[in-house]
Structure 1
Amino acid sequence: MSVAAASFLVFAASQVGTPGPANMALMATGARYGFRAALPFVAGVALGKQLVIWPVGFGLMELADRAPWVFDTLKWVSAAYICWLAWKVANLRLNTDAGAAKAPGFFAGLIVHPLNPKAWAMIVAGFTGFVAVGTPPLEATAVIAACLLACQIVLHPIWTFAGDRIAATVAGRPEEKYLMWTLAGLTVASVFYVLFGGGVTQ
């Protein structure tokens, strides 16, 4: 097959399932608003990666070769945005009260991956490492997109539900502050790992 789908699926699952900006956002949203209320946000996060996959699959990497400064700028702007989100998470306090403020919705989730440098790194790794030279762009992009979406449908809700359960345990306790700062720290660390270490984790 022109795309090593089985191998990429294993790679994708290992990356989507590990800590990163998107998963930290999912966990924090589940913790703050509850699993059920966070589901539209989860759907947006999952589908938002498609906004990166398809342009990359249909030639966006050629632009990167011609104008690398565009992608360097995007990388640092995205990193700044993720760090800002991490700051918000660090100062967030959990609330399991049903009367809490409205959870972020589908469109808020949709922009998470387009502004996530780790998502870009993982997608580029998929096309460069698991697609044979000469594979039709439609075939390659469809396989990469389907594998990632399948992993996200399974694993993103797990992270969100974990946040919901954590909130039920630590909300209002002294440990809450340290938990949120830990989540924020992991988010920032994951971004810097991509920027300076070449990681491709979700």
Structure 2
Amino acid sequence: MTYSVWLSFFSYTIISAISPGPNNILALNAAGKSGIKMQRRLLSGIYLGFFCIMIICGVFSTVLAVILPEITDYMKYAGAVYITWLAYHVATGRPLKENNTETEKSSFNRGFLLQFVNVKIIIWGLTAFTGFVLPYYDSPIIIVGFIFLLSFIGNGSTHIWAVAGVGLGSLLKKYWRSANIIMGLSLLYSAVNLVL
């Protein structure tokens, strides 16, 4: 990968991962109400489930690229369309309202199973692999490395929301318009670089 592709990869993965989504809002709510220590089982479930989804995305994308090698060219454009759509919604989105029932009965299973219905991270993982990884690498060791890297980025972002708790929520609510526009423009940059 060239420098600009790496920059696009990190822009896409970090900005998308740190933007509000089911994992981040759940972590923010749960840790904000009862602390990280009290929610460690829920957070552990999220982290392990996320890692499992990245394994599935990596294997699925690699197998698809082997069976239909030309698919990565088309998936790159599909990924760019998805990132552009995401950029628009992030830039024009409004602050999410917290759901007071999110932290009730927080458990490992709840965090783990959430990942298998979390469309945001599934599409995020597939886009990262088909748009940024597979066009440049086909070594199983490198693919495994990207599974760990993507898991670190995704789970790290969720942990940032958990650590920040209510503090991050109030900061984003206060400056939501500026934060959304900056994140949206960064995502748009990633989409353009993906197809160039």
Please classify the TM superposition score into its range, dividing by the shorter chain length.
0.5 to 0.7
Which digits, 9 at most, give the CA deviation of each residue in 1:32-60, with x for residues without a partner?
34464354444444424325532354144
Alignment of 1:1-202 (within 5 A): 15=10, 19-24=14-19, 25=21, 26-34=23-31, 36=40, 37-46=42-51, 47-48=53-54, 49-50=57-58, 53-63=61-71, 68=74, 72-73=77-78, 75-77=80-82, 79-80=84-85, 82-83=86-87, 86=90, 90-94=94-98, 98-99=103-104, 105-109=114-118, 112-115=121-124, 119=128, 120-127=130-137, 140=139, 142-171=140-169, 173=170, 175-178=171-174, 180-181=176-177, 184-198=180-194
TM-score (norm 1): 0.57
* Residue segments in structure 2 that go unaligned for 5+ positions in a row: 1-5
Partner of 2:3: none
Q: Give the drift of 1:177.
A: 0.8
TM-score of the superposed pair, with normalisation by structure 2: 0.58
CA distance in 1, matches of 2:99, 2:163: 12
Q: Percent identity?
A: 9
Asked if the contact 1:41/1:105 (under 8 Å) is kept, the reply is: yes
Q: Which amino acid aligns with 1:144?
A: I
Match of 1:3 in 2: none
Deviation of the 1:77 alpha carbon? 4.5
SS in 2 for 1:20: helix
Aligned residues: 172
Structure 1 pair 18–62 and aligned structure 2 pair: CA distance change class (3 A): closer
Shift of 1:192: 0.8
* Residues 114-156 of structure 1: per-residue CA shift (max 9 Å, x gap): 35685133223542xxx5xxxxxxxx2x223210122234443
5+ long unaligned stretches in structure 1:
1-10, 132-139
Bigger helix fraction: 2
CA RMSD of aligned residues (A): 4.5
